[in-house]
Chains A and B, each alone.
Chain A
Amino acid sequence: MSTEVQSATVIKAPSEPLFSKKNIKVLKDPLSDNNPVTVQVLGICSALAVTTQVMPSLIMAISVIFVSAFSNLIISAIRNGIPNRIRIIVQLVVIATLVTLVDQVLKAYMYDVSKKLSVFVGLIITNCIIMGRLEAFAMQKKPWPSFLDGIGSGAGYGLVLLFIGVFRELFGSGSLMGYKIVPDWAYEMGYVNNGLMMLPPAALFLIGIYIWIQRSLNKSLVNVS
């Protein structure tokens, strides 16, 4: 009897290596097969709003990666101490703190970009991807996989943002990251920048095309979501 109890306490789950296969999968899945924007269809709103140029998309992507990674880490670390009834409020406090941090850093060091992103940095708080990952992942899993999941989800979001941003800036204003790409002679020949690309519907079309390509490459995604 007593020996049994002793042996039970001794047997612990073997400690996983930091980048085990499972953890790598957690990190990589959101980039393709479980992309938060194109498969889970979350965070569409800011994907339409901030992607007129590459630079704001990039900053937005980095901000979301930062917020989702660290909110996942913090919530996962304290997950056993959070009373279930007020967990949403606790999650929001953590996210809001991190977002305020990002906002202040942007205002201090990248004022121009911060002005372009305007209210959308603050709105990361309501970005469904972050809340979704907290509820679905961080509340059940250990801190390290949660952290990786946060990075993965944020990167998956950022990947779509960059894809849209590149196309919208290239066709909408003929440049990339502010550098002119379309040469002057093209304008003289009669080429005109596509004004539709500067409007939010263009981002919706592009996300649609992204989803279309993604699902025609991977049939298992068809009719998921």
Chain B
Amino acid sequence: MKALRSLIDKIKPNFEKGGKLEKFWVVFDGLETFLFVPKHANHNGVHVRDGIDLKRTMFTVIIAMIPALLFGMWNVGYQHYTAYGEASTLMDNFIFGAIKVLPIIIVSYGVGLGIEFLVAGMKGHSINEGYLVTGMLIPLILPVTVPLWMVAFASAFTVIIGKEVFGGTGFNIMNPALLARAFLFFAFPAYMSGEIWVAMDPAKTLVDGYSGATSLVYFDEGASALTSNISTTDMFMGTIKGSIGETSTLAILLGGLYLIYTGVGSWRIMTGVFAGGYLMGLLFNFLAGSAYPGMAVPAHFHLIIGGFAFGAVFMATDPVSAAQTNRGKWIYGLAIGAFTVILRVFNPAYPEAMMLSILFFNVFAPLIDYMVVQRHIKTRLKSAYQ
């Protein structure tokens, strides 16, 4: 550590104003603050600051994502070997998964951070850590077979159109990682849906009766098809097909608990999303008819299928694009959960409704906040004049 510090101190004058490499100050500053606590002091007046800054917040979220990431890597290998009917150990699965997943993560970070560095250099402000979480979220919500150039394309799109256009970290109106996924979903539908969830090897032969689709396809066939094909335990543990990080509800909940414990993720939003989905599922069970077989799917299935848990814990709670008021968070969460179930049941074209409903309510979040505040003002005025 000390050697690193002295190295940085030694080369620092080159980057400061008037130095040889003045142009690269942004990059240098970004790396220095990444490695060490910055010593920037402000020049006018005292500010009381909390110890938790943007960087620590971002790292907390990354730590919370580790269970889902590790499980995702294992599951990539597990699904691969299962598809060919081969026996494999825990390590086999894990190594196979790591080989497939790590390039996606590297591309996502490389392209996204590259653009952030470039923009920061152009605008002359320091690099902030906003992309650290986005760069990890993007791989976790993509299928493992996605071509790397698409990952690069989506990362570039989301950083430029989703964030920098609006003014950078903290100003985006939508969740950047979901925007990347939505972009790929609409731009390259053949690579984002269908039988693409397992890393294939053309040299080997598949086992009999293999199906490459996720459990979401059974929605249109109704509850019995769902329950007879996949067990509830599998869905909860996550040994099913799906995007890299979204399959294991258990691993995601572990991360969610850590987020709630540290106070980084809002428990109101998470609870709201789960409650909204569950209640809407119950309502549909009650109303179930023959026209829409998806209505009869047991309510708790909605919560462990597809990206529901991942969206609730990591996506809906994004502090920038979510509602800010406490009551607004409840409304926002409940609406996302309910809307997801509605879309899943009534619109077979978009079985993965979590992405769309979170983006939809990202747009509505400021409106929800506005209404909550206005209502509060009204009630306070009423009691004041009585």
Does A23 belong to the interface (CB within 8 Å)?
no
Residue from A190, A195, A196, A201 within 8 A of B149 (CB atoms): A190
B107 → chain A closest CB, angstroms = 14
Point out the residues of chain A lying under 8 angstroms from B149, CB to CB. Answer: 190
Point out the residues of chain A lying under 8 angstroms from B183, CB to CB. Answer: 196
Cβ proximity bits A188-225 to B, threshold 8 Å, 1 near / 0 not? 00101011110101000100100010000000000000
Question: CA separation between A196 and B188, bound complex, in Å?
Answer: 7
Does B84 belong to the interface (CB within 8 Å)?
no
Please determine whether A205 and B161 come into contact, CB atoms closer than 8 angstroms.
yes
Question: CA separation between A201 and B189, bound complex, in Å?
Answer: 15
Question: CA separation between A195 and B186, bound complex, in Å?
Answer: 6
Please determine whether B188 and A194 come into contact, CB atoms closer than 8 angstroms.
yes
Question: CA separation between A198 and B149, bound complex, in Å?
Answer: 20
User: Are A196 and B187 CB-contacts (below 8 A) given A190-B147, A190-B149?
Assistant: yes
Point out the residues of chain B lying under 8 angstroms from A208, CB to CB. Answer: 161, 165
Residue from B147, B161, B187 within 8 A of A195 (CB atoms): B187
User: Are A195 and B165 CB-contacts (below 8 A) given A190-B147, A190-B149?
Assistant: no
Does B190 belong to the interface (CB within 8 Å)?
yes
The prevalent SS among residues of B at the interface is helix
Does B191 belong to the interface (CB within 8 Å)?
yes
User: Are A199 and B161 CB-contacts (below 8 A) given A190-B147, A190-B149, A192-B191?
Assistant: no
Point out the residues of chain B lying under 8 angstroms from A195, CB to CB. Answer: 186-189
Please determine whether B190 and A192 come into contact, CB atoms closer than 8 angstroms.
yes
Question: CA separation between A199 and B183, bound complex, in Å?
Answer: 11
Question: CA separation between A199 and B189, bound complex, in Å?
Answer: 12
Point out the residues of chain A lying under 8 angstroms from B188, CB to CB. Answer: 192, 194-195
Point out the residues of chain A lying under 8 angstroms from B189, CB to CB. Answer: 195
Point out the residues of chain B lying under 8 angstroms from A194, CB to CB. Answer: 187-188
Cβ proximity bits B144-187 to A, threshold 8 Å, 1 near / 0 not? 00010110000000000100010000000000000000010011
B65 → chain A closest CB, angstroms = 27
Question: CA separation between A212 and B161, bound complex, in Å?
Answer: 11
A183 → chain B closest CB, angstroms = 17
Question: CA separation between A123 and B161, bound complex, in Å?
Answer: 31
Question: CA separation between A195 and B150, bound complex, in Å?
Answer: 13
Question: CA separation between A117 and B183, bound complex, in Å?
Answer: 27
Point out the residues of chain A lying under 8 angstroms from B147, CB to CB. Answer: 190, 192
- Which among B147, B161, B183, B186 has the greatest number of chain A C-beta atoms within 10 A? B186
Question: CA separation between A194 and B183, bound complex, in Å?
Answer: 10
A182 → chain B closest CB, angstroms = 14
- Closest residue of chain B to A171, judged by CB? B187
Q: A194-B188, A196-B186, A201-B186 are in contact. List 15 more A-B contacts (CB 8 A).
A: A190-B147, A190-B149, A192-B147, A192-B150, A192-B190, A194-B187, A195-B186, A195-B187, A195-B188, A196-B183, A197-B187, A199-B186, A205-B161, A208-B161, A212-B165
Which residues of B does A touch, CB under 8 Å? 147, 149-150, 161, 165, 183, 186-191
20 contacts between A and B (CB under 8 A): A190-B147, A190-B149, A192-B147, A192-B150, A192-B188, A192-B190, A192-B191, A194-B187, A194-B188, A195-B186, A195-B187, A195-B188, A195-B189, A196-B183, A196-B186, A196-B187, A197-B187, A205-B161, A208-B165, A212-B165
- Minimum-distance CB pairs A-B, first 3: A196-B187, A196-B186, A194-B187
